[in-house]
Amino acid sequence: MTPRIITFFLGLSFILLVSCKDDDKSYPSVTGKWQGTLLTAEITVYGVTLPNKQTDDTFDAVVEFKSDGTAILTDDNQTSTGTWSQNNDKLTLSVTFGTEFIDLSGTYTIQEITDKKLTLYIEKDGSYTDPDTKVEVQGTVKATLNFDKKS
């Protein structure tokens, strides 16, 4: 090979190496105690999204993610113990507990995590009871849960 071709391939290799970016974003651990501040839910029934988002500004559940993988969720003087795991922006929570909108077990996407705030998002298919009409329907719930870090 001529020096020109070798230089070309070395230059091309360098450009490709430099242009590759690291797609793996590092997420801090959710370990600690978090106080619920707001839950919003969008409900889709038979392919039709209900016009009003459901908002629960009284959502004040406390969840503690312990370093051993134990999750303790407390709301209205009821406590449920389960497990949790985190893989980058995915948080899997397994507890027997729910709100009027959604069973809290499942895999969440971490939308925001700081030393003070945690925002989780989940989509779940299933049977749901409308909190206003008390009618049970099949559909999808898209929920966002907001938490503040407890000291």
Question: What are the residue boundaries of the structural domains of the chain, listed by start?
Answer: 32-149
Q: Under a CB-based contact definition with an 8 Å cutoff, are residues 108 and 91 in contact?
A: yes
Return the pLDDT at 14: 52
The topology (CATH level 3) of 32-149 is Lipocalin (2.40.128)
Return the pLDDT at 18: 47
In which residue ranges of the chain is pLDDT below 70?
A: 1-25, 98-102, 130-131
Return the pLDDT at 83: 96
Return the pLDDT at 90: 96
pTM of the model: 0.76
Q: Under a CB-based contact definition with an 8 Å cutoff, are residues 120 and 105 in contact?
A: no
